[in-house]
Amino acid sequence: MARIVMKFGGTSVANLERIHNVARHVKREVDAGHEVAVVVSAMSGKTNELVGWVQDTPKVAGASSPFYDAREYDAVVASGEQVTSGLLAIALQSMGINARSWQGWQIPIRTDNAHGAARILDIDGSDIIRRMGEGQVAVVAGFQGLGPDNRIATLGRGGSDTSAVAIAAAVKADRCDIYTDVDGVYTTDPRIVPKARRMKKISFEEMLEMASLGAKVLQVRSVELAMVHKVRTFVRSSFEDPDAPGMGDLINPPGTLICDEEEIVEQEVVTGIAYAKDEAQISLRRVADRPGVSAAIFGPLAEAHINVDMIVQNISEDGSKTDMTFTVPFGDVEKAMQVLHSNKDKIGFDVVQNETGLCKVSVVGIGMRSHAGVAATAFKALAEKSINIRAITTSEIKISILIDGAYSELAVRTLHSAYGLDKS
């Protein structure tokens, strides 16, 4: 017998037929004698609809400002998961399974006060553990918790992944299965590279890099939690027949295992290629080269919750001036420009420029730590395709390259082939 947390995303619970299919997946594990908790997202498209209602309400009411109270935003958008958890509990009960729905505040999942993008602080898993021990399936509404103001707080888009991993850690689950519309983690996006391969295993560190660099299989925060608490996590497809051979395998079910590096015997030099489109580049020209100038630039951007990524600094020949170039997500360009202009006197730049439509392509692999020439292979492969490199950043296990967006798919295919990831 094992303790398993199963998470199902929006496409997996998009309608009543798919909710019934999810119930069959859950029944399979219950019939095998496992203790089971399930975390669900809102039905596909429902969160977008609820967010739209929140955003449109001030307009309809004739308000002069489009802004709204984030606490009420959370009260509205959290209702999507509440509906799904209740429906799945009913489906399980209809199949003769003892099940009960849970909202985030009932567990409780304690969060900070950042409504709309809260972080989990603590989970008391004792009641769920007791109920599972009595044979009851806990069906938990993902994406939500209870803030210090005793109001519902949501965890940001994709937060149900984080809910599932956090609950798995709290109840000391043997594994956490993330069911989605793909059957695992691939070496790159199979829509771009048909020869992309599904990986059997990937380390927490590699998955964290892949998720943060554009791979949309898991939310970044969920991978961070899994790594910290060493929660063995499987990415699986909810569209496989629940009763197909191997689906109930406790040790090696179909999908991709995200685990500690020590579990991976044969480590590839490069594990995968990630990419993020819609990157934007901002350049500050002729900034005074003095102590504290970087803090004057990036401090206000951080306070405005703008995520800065690649940073390149070019110092003039006499050392008196510098050009500072960095990237931000496309959606943050306008806000970033406003922040920089409002801090121009403190920073001391002559002009600020921005360019959109760029792409960040990244090479990821824990094997890079012990192999030379990985970066050179990427640069040579891109040069042969006449793809110009705008900026480069590196870490122990990844190389990120900024290029023009028009070459994104060509770059992904080129690098995937250059490192032999096309080979089965």
Asked if residue 127 belongs to a known ligand binding site, the reply is no
Q: CA quadruple 168, 174, 176, 179: dihedral positive or negative? A: negative
What's the CA gap between 408 and 393, in Å, rounded?
Answer: 17
Query: Helix or strand or coil: residue 329?
Result: strand
Asked if residue 186 belongs to a known ligand binding site, the reply is yes
pLDDT in tens, 79-93: 999 999 999 999 999
Sequence-separated contacts (24+) of 309-316 with Cβ below 8 Å: 309/279, 309/360, 309/393, 309/400, 310/360, 310/391, 310/392, 310/393, 310/400, 310/402, 311/393, 312/391, 315/289, 316/286, 316/289
Query: Helix or strand or coil: residue 20?
Result: helix
3-state helix, strand and coil shares in percent for the chain, rounded to the nearest 5? 40, 25, 35
pLDDT at 157: 82
Across 144-153, 303-312, 370-379, which has the greatest mean pLDDT?
144-153
Asked if residue 325 belongs to a known ligand binding site, the reply is no
Asked if residue 9 belongs to a known ligand binding site, the reply is yes
Asked if residue 47 belongs to a known ligand binding site, the reply is yes
The H-or-E segment that residue 411 falls in is: helix 408-418
Q: Which pair of tokens denotes residue 399?
A: 């190389």
- Per-residue confidence at 318, pLDDT binned at 50, 70, 90? low
pLDDT at 42: 97
| Angle at which helices 333-342 and 293-303 cross, to 10° | 130
Q: Which residue has the higher pLDDT, 152 or 216?
A: 152
Asked if residue 10 belongs to a known ligand binding site, the reply is yes
* % pLDDT > 70, the chain: 98
Asked if residue 180 belongs to a known ligand binding site, the reply is yes
| Domains, the chain, ordered by start | 1-261 (3.40.1160.10), 270-417 (3.30.2130.10)
Does residue 170 carry a pLDDT above 90? yes
Asked if residue 27 belongs to a known ligand binding site, the reply is no
- Tally Cβ neighbours within 10 Å of residue 2: 14
What's the CA gap between 55 and 59, in Å, rounded?
Answer: 8
* % pLDDT > 90, the chain: 74
13: DSSP letter = G
Asked if residue 179 belongs to a known ligand binding site, the reply is no
With vertex at residue 85, the alpha carbon angle to CA 109 and CA 145, rounded to the nearest 5 degrees, is: 15
Asked if residue 216 belongs to a known ligand binding site, the reply is yes
CA-atom Rg of the chain in angstroms: 23
